[in-house]
Amino acid sequence: MKRTIIAAVFCGATILAAQAQTPTTAPTPSPNAPAEANAPLPGANSFTEGQATSRLETNGYTAVSELKKDDNGVWKGRATHDGQPVNVSVDYRGNITRN
């Protein structure tokens, strides 16, 4: 009987602890979503270079190059959009901005 009670308490505590956790990354906006105000936002960017490139390409950018993650966790580089070369940024939320 004691083992059953102890097991139940342990399971309950584990569930409560799991529910108390909050996500550490923000949801990624859908493709072609407008950038949030104040973007690019600083933060711990979990995108790889390939994922940042893919996000840009999904949003109509081509010839993506020179992507580097800066000290604020923002991917910055060059790309072409509508035939024009532009500087671009991808922040940790997936916001794309032109600099």
Mean pLDDT over 84-99 rounds to: 93
Q: Is residue 71 one of the residues assigned to a domain? A: yes
pLDDT band at 43 (very low <50, low <70, confident <90, very high): confident
Whether 12 has a pLDDT exceeding 60, the answer reads no
Q: Is residue 76 one of the residues assigned to a domain? A: yes
Q: How many domains are there within the chain?
A: 1
**Portion of the chain with pLDDT greater than 70, in percent:** 61
Q: Is residue 60 one of the residues assigned to a domain? A: yes
Q: Is residue 58 one of the residues assigned to a domain? A: yes
Mean pLDDT over 78-98 rounds to: 94
Q: Is residue 18 one of the residues assigned to a domain? A: no
**Portion of the chain with pLDDT greater than 90, in percent:** 48
Q: What number of other Cβ atoms are within 10 A of residue 1's Cβ?
A: 5
Q: Is residue 17 one of the residues assigned to a domain? A: no
The domain of 82 spans 28-98
Contacts 24+ apart (CB under 8 A), 58-64: 58/31, 58/32, 59/31, 59/32, 59/96, 60/32, 61/86, 61/88, 61/96, 64/88
Give the per-residue pLDDT at 62: 98
